Amino acid sequence: MGMIVVVDDEKIVTSAFKTLFKIEGLSDGYFFNDPKEALKFIKSQTPDLIISDFKKPKMNGLEFLTAAKKLHPDTSMILLTGYADKENAIRAINEIGLYKYIEKPWDNDDLILNIKNGIERSHLLKKLDAKINELEITNKKLEDYTKNLEKIVDDRTSELKTANNKLSSIISSCADGIVIVDKHGVIEQVNPACENMTGLSATALCHMNLQEIVFSDKYDFNVLKRKNSILGLGNDKNEVLIRDCYIKNTLSGKNIPVEINFASIQAQSKESYVGIIRDVTIQKDAERLRDDFIATLTHDLRTPLLAAIQTLKFFLDGSLGALEERQCVLLSTMLQSNEDLLGLVNALLEVYKFESGKLTLCKTEFSIKDLINQCYEELKPLAEKKDIKFILHNDISDNTLINADKSEIKRVIINLCGNAVNYTNKSGKIEIFSKIHENGDFIFSVSDNGNGIPKEDIPHLFMRFSQGTSKKRSTGTGLGLYLSRQIVEAHNGKIWLESKLNSGSEFSFLLPEVVQAGVYKKERQAVNG
C-alpha cells in the first residue's frame, strides 16, 4: 500500500503501532525511537506517510517534521499530540504544512482511516507533480514550436512549391497523355500531350465526358460504366487498363490507337481518377505485320499437315496393308505429333481472327444449362480416368436462354474445365458453378483443389503464349486462356482468376446482360410463385 515511517521515543508506542499494522495488513512499516536515525533513513528512502510524536527529548516532533518536509514535501505527515499540545499542533499544521494531528489516546479505526487517506494523498500529490512536470515540458516544446512555426511553414511551403513545380514539369513534358476525370467521367484536367492527341485545347476538353473523345469497336463503354463506375473503375484494386481504344484527332481526322491505364485518386474527399493515355500506333503496326506473317504461314501449313495426317491414318487403319506392331507405334507417334501441330496452327489462326477483327460473333439464343451439361459430359470421362471428383452445380432453369455465340462460349467452358482436369492431381476435386444475376448477367466458375498458381504469375496467365507458371510450364500452346479472354471480352464480359498456392484455383467469367429478359422474368415469377 505504501511505506510508513513511525517515530516515537517510547518503545511501547512503536510496539503498539507494529501490532496494529500487522492486524491491518500494513507490511511496509519502519519504526524509530530516535528521530535522528529516522532522518538518516528517509534521506535515502521516500516514505508515503510519516507519523511522529510531538514531544521527544533529543528533537521534538515539530523540528523533526520540519526537516522531513524539506526532504519530502509531497509526503503526508501526521503529528501525535496530547490534549495540552493541541494548540501547538494546529500552529504546526499552518506553518509546516502537516496533513493532520491526532490526539492521544487515539481510536484505532480512526487512526487507520487517517493513515490510508494520508497515503492516498501522497500518491495523488506525486501524480499531480508528475503531470505538472509533463505539462511544463509540453508547454516548453509548444513555446519552441510556436517560435519556429513561421520558419517551418515557410520551409514546408517552399518544399511544396518545389514538388509542385517538378510535378507540373513532369506532367507537361510527359510524352503520354494524362487526363483527370471525376467519378462521372467528366474531364477536369489534361496535359499538352493529351491536347496533341485529340487536337483540342485544354479549355475545350475540360467539362467534356471522356466517352466523347474515347471510343472502341470492341468495348461497350456504357456496359463497362454500369459495371464498374468509370470505364471499369471502382474494383478492389482501384486500377484498370483499357485496351483496344481509339482517340480521334479532330485536326487530322485520324483514329489513334491507345491504351489507357486508370487509377483512383483521393483529394479533399473528392473521388477522381487519373488516366495515362499511351499512343500504341507503332506497337499495333508491328503486331499487325507479325500477325499477318503468322496468319499466312499457319494458313499455308494446314494443307500439308492435313495431307500428312490423312496419309498416316490410311496406314494405321490398314487401307495400305497390314503393319507390324513397331511400325504402328511409330506411325501413331507421328500422327499425334502432326495433330498437335495442327492444333497449334488452328489456335494461331483463331488468335489472328480475333485480333484482326475478322471474326464476327454469331449470337443466338440458346439454353445455357444444356450447353454446360454437354461440356460436362464431354469432359467427365477424362476426369474419371484420373479418379477426380467432377461435380456440376447447375441450378439454372431449363428455359433460361442467353444471347451469345454458342460455339465460342462452349470453347471457353471446355478450355477452363479442361485445364482444371489437366492440372488437378489424381483423386482431386473439381466443382462447376453457374448462376444468373437479377440484372441478366451470367456467371460461370470452375474451381479445383490442385497446386494453385503463384500470385506473381496470375497477371500473365491470360496473355499470349503464357505456359503454366514460373515454377512449372505446361506442354500446351499457351493460347487457351488468351483466346478465352478474347472471346469473353468480345461479349463485353470479364474473365478472372482467384488462386492460392497449394490450395487450388477458381477461374470465372461474366457475360453482362445476356439473359433473355422475358424468359428470365418468367423464371423468377415461377420461383417466387
Residues 6+ apart with CB under 8 A from 131: none
The confidence score (pLDDT) of residue 233 equals 45
The predicted-structure confidence for 343-368, as pLDDT tens digits, reads as follows: 777 777 777 666 666 667 889 999 99
Confidence of residue 269 (pLDDT cuts 50, 70, 90): low
Q: Which CATH architecture has domain 4-127?
A: 3-Layer(aba) Sandwich (3.40)
Residues 6+ apart with CB under 8 A from 123: 2, 48
Confidence of residue 468 (pLDDT cuts 50, 70, 90): low
DSSP string for residues in 393-444: EE---TT-EEEE-HHHHHHHHHHHHHHHHHHSPTT-EEEEEEEE-TTS-EEE
Lowest mean pLDDT among 141-145, 156-160, 213-217, 233-237: 233-237
Please tell me if the domain spanning 175-279 has the same topology as the one spanning 364-528. Answer: no
Q: Is the pLDDT of residue 458 over 60?
A: yes
The confidence score (pLDDT) of residue 367 equals 92
The listed CATH number (1.10.3470.10, 3.40.228.10, 3.30.565.10, 3.90.1150.10) that belongs to domain 364-528: 3.30.565.10
Residues making up the chain, counted from first to last: 529
Instruction: Give the Cβ contact number of residue 520 at 10 Å.
Output: 20
Question: If you average pLDDT over residues 168-185, what whole number do you get?
Answer: 83
**Which CATH class name applies to 175-279?**
alpha beta
Average pLDDT, whole number, for the chain? Answer: 82
Alpha-carbon gap, residue 55 to 52, rounded angstroms: 9
The confidence score (pLDDT) of residue 517 equals 59
Query: Tell me, what amino acid is at 29?
Result: G
Q: What is the CA radius of gyration of the chain?
A: 44
Confidence of residue 495 (pLDDT cuts 50, 70, 90): very high
CB < 8 Å & 24+ apart, contacts of 288-291: 288/356, 291/351, 291/352, 291/355, 291/356
Q: Is the pLDDT of residue 222 over 60?
A: no
Query: Tell me, what amino acid is at 371?
Result: L
The confidence score (pLDDT) of residue 358 equals 61
All structural domains of the chain with their residue ranges = 4-127, 175-279, 284-356, 364-528
Question: If you average pLDDT over residues 424-438, what whole number do you get?
Answer: 90
Q: Is the pLDDT of residue 178 over 80?
A: yes
